[in-house]
Amino acid sequence: MSNEPPPRIVPILPPDWDETALDALGAFPAARDFVLSRWSPDGPGVRGLHGLGMLVQHPALAKAFLTFNAHAARSPSLTTRERELIILRISILRNSQYEYIQHVVLGRAAGLSEAELDRISLGPDAPGWSPDDADILRAVDELHRDARIGEETWTRLSKRFDKKQIMDLVFVLGCYEILAMAFNTFDVPLETGVDRTTRRD
């Protein structure tokens, strides 16, 4: 029996995605098409289904947010691995199980090892991180704690990243912090059949 609470905002499933919902989800076509190409009423759950289903309860918000999310999820100035480090760390700091489980899969695909995935929860000072990875994680921690990257971390990041990359780092984190708060507040449930072995509780 699941210990998860019932959703406060029940996700809408694809059979009930009307033209307005599909138009809103069109702001992030890769996410929409991933779900639609894999979903069936009798099949296993599709990763991300309930997140999108929650958003389309408010199509205007979904369209505006997913426009931002589409950039953050694929921001070309950062590598996929760098983005996933950011997203996984903020999902841990915000204790967002839904977001964390979705992005463990993506982190593996981006090249993060099992040891690195385990170490993200320990933060930037854990033994084993490269200085570059530690600075990314430290920036996430500082933004989470202070809403500002500290001077020392900023100086080091500025030697490695240009202005667009640092802006993307901040906005990627912000995007997924918003999602973590939404997933937690609305009790978005994990999809049936999604691997739950990555849960951190």
188 DSSP 8-state letter: P
pLDDT at 3: 74
User: Apex CA 57: angle with CA 34 and CA 72, to 5°?
Assistant: 50
Is residue 171 helix, strand or coil?
helix
pLDDT at 84: 98
- The domain locations on the chain are 14-72, 76-185
pLDDT at 2: 55
Burial 162-180 (b: 16+ CB within 10 A, else e): eeebbebbbebbebbbebb
- Read off the pTM: 0.94
Comparing C-alpha atoms, which of 29, 54, 16, 30 is closest to residue 180?
Answer: 54
Taking the chain (201 residues) in runs of 10, the rounded mean pLDDT of each run is: 82 97 98 96 89 98 98 93 98 97 96 97 97 98 98 98 97 98 97 67 44
Residue with tokens 């449930």: 189
Burial 30-45 (b: 16+ CB within 10 A, else e): ebbebbbeebeeeeee
pLDDT at 1: 37
Whole-angstrom distance, CA of residue 106 vs CA of residue 194: 13
Q: Name the CATH topology of 76-185.
A: AhpD-like (1.20.1290)
